Homo-oligomer: A and B are copies of this chain.
C-alpha cells in the first residue's frame, strides 16, 4: 500500500542521536512546518512533526543539522502504541525518513556540476530549442 510523506521545515531543537542495543544509529527530532494559510487571527501556525531516521542518515542528520536548520525529508508515517505506567495505551505517530535534504547549506557540497555537460548544454538548448 502507499504511504508517502514529504515535509520541508525547521528543526525545533538539535537532533538526538542514540543507538539500539544492536548498535544501529537512530536520530530523532521535531520539524516545525509552517502552515500555508492563516488562522482567524491572521497568524501563521505550524505543525510539529516527530521524525526518525536510521543508520547513516541518522549520523548525517546528527552531524549536519542543528536547531533551526531547514531540511526536506521524504518517508512514511509510522504508528505504534505502548502502555504507560498507569496501564493505558498511548498512541504515537512518527515520520520515518528515507531521505533528508539539507536546504540551507550555502551550496550543495560534492556537487560536481556536470551539468556543465548536461545542464549548461541544456540551457543553451532550451534557448535554441524554442
Contacts and interface: CB of A to CB of B under 8 A. Distances in A.
Interface in A77-110: 77-83, 88-89, 91, 93, 95, 99, 101, 103, 108, 110
A93 B122 CA distance: 14
Most buried by B among A38, A95, A110, A129: A129
Nearest to A21: B128
A128 B118 CA distance: 29
A125 interface: yes
A8 interface: yes
A50 to B, nearest CB: 7
Contacts of A101: 1-2, 8, 36
Interface in A38-86: 38-50, 70, 72, 74, 76-83
Given A7-B77, A123-B80, A126-B20, A111 B44 contact: yes
